Amino acid sequence: AQTVTQSQPEMSVQEAETVTLSCTYDTSESDYYLFWYKQPPSRQMILVIRQEAYKQQNATENRFSVNFQKAAKSFSLKISDSQLGDAAMYFCAYRTENSGGSNYKLTFGKGTLLTVNP
Amino acid sequence: DGGITQSPKYLFRKEGQNVTLSCEQNLNHDAMYWYRQDPGQGLRLIYYSQIVNDFQKGDIAEGYSVSREKKESFPLTVTSAQKNPTAFYLCASSRFTTYEQFFGPGTRLTVL
């Protein structure tokens, strides 16, 4: 079974600075997807960024980028120029690429609570 | 606007009562999911459905039931058999041909 580990329960960053959130995962598969979701105080889950395992290039979305290290099974999220609105719980998630059965489900880490200090 | 709606936002239940949480989507998504979120636990899958009139158990299905009579709707019933039902419940949906799941705003269930 796949597992996702977020080793940092809490992180803090100064406004306008850069912060990196860590995520590692365990899988025997070669094809899969990885995601970072953001959950602000409203508790609405919002997709931040996704990465296909077959792509060597790291995904970027504006101020958000990932460092995907497939061999190390590592998938960290970098937030540049942090803003107050970035304060939230961040979840790393894994999904297999194989179709059928329960393979559409997401396996989540336990989350990292990010605080942004003004 | 397309999206996922969940109702109610807050729900209180007495022990021994069944309660149904609503989830509706107008995204024309094929697959729908129910997750449970507890503090420090992340999200855990309760049930999922890939097509109308079909659904499968997730990792923590005991004490829950679902139905999928319409593509747009995937209600979750929390039965009296669920030992610790107080939690935050999130509904999600996705298309078969893509892999992102989109989430509703959630329902907070409290058992009194």
Mean pLDDT of A109-115: 96
**Residues B48, A104: C-beta atoms closer than 8 Å:** yes
Contacts for A75 with CB less than 8 Å, ≥ 6 apart: A23, A24, A25, A34, A36, A51, A66, A67, A68, A69, A92
Task: Check pLDDT > 80 for residue A97.
Answer: no
Q: Is the pLDDT of residue A101 over 60?
A: no
With contacts defined as CB-CB under 8 Å, which chain A residues touch B41?
A: 110
| Bridge partners, residue A52, by sequence | A33
**Structure confidence at residue A46 (pLDDT):** 95
Task: Give me the residue from A104, A105, A110 closest to B41, CB to CB.
Answer: A110
Over residues B41-93, the pLDDT tens digits come to 789 999 999 889 999 999 899 999 999 999 999 999 999 888 899 999 999 99
CA B106, CA B92: separation in Å to the nearest integer? Answer: 9
Reported as a single tens digit per residue, the pLDDT across B14-36 is 988 999 999 999 999 999 999 99
Burial annotation B27-54 (CB, 10 A radius, 16+ → b, else e):
eebbbbbbbbbeeeebbbbbbbbbeeee
Confidence of residue A88 (pLDDT cuts 50, 70, 90): very high
Report whether B46 contacts B36 (CB < 8 A). yes
Token look-up 């109702």 returns: B7
By C-alpha distance, the chain B residue nearest A33 is: B99
Residue B42 is predicted with a pLDDT of: 84
Using CB atoms, pick whichever of A4, A104, A110 lies closest to residue B31.
A104
From A17's Cα to the closest Cα of chain B, the distance in A is 27
The residues that bridge with A76 in the sheet, in sequence order, are A67
Asked if the C-beta of B61 comes within 8 angstroms of chain A's C-beta atoms, the answer is no
Q: How far apart are CA B54 and CA B16, in angstroms?
A: 28
Q: Which residues, listed in sequence order, are joined to residue B112 by a DSSP beta bridge?
A: none
Cβ atoms of residues A54 and A68 within 8 Å:
no
Of the pLDDT bands very low, low, confident and very high (cuts 50, 70, 90), residue B103 is very high
Which of B50, B101, B105 is opposite residue A106, by nearest beta carbon?
B101
Mean pLDDT, chain A, whole residue set: 92
For residues A20-39, average pLDDT: 94
pLDDT value of position B41: 78
Q: pLDDT at position A105, please?
A: 77
Instruction: Count Cβ atoms within 10 A of the Cβ of residue A101 and give its class: 0-12 exposed, 13-18 middle, 19 or more buried.
Output: exposed
Q: What residues pair up with B43 in beta bridges, in sequence order? A: B37
Cβ-based contacts of B42 with chain A (< 8 Å): 4, 91, 108-111
Q: What is the pLDDT of residue A98?
A: 65
A40, A4, A34, A7: which is closest to A22 by C-alpha?
A: A7
Rounded CA-CA distance B79/B60 in Å is 13
pLDDT at B97 over 60: no
* Secondary structure class of A86 (helix, strand, coil): helix
State the Cα–Cα distance between residues B95 and A51, nearest whole angstrom.
17
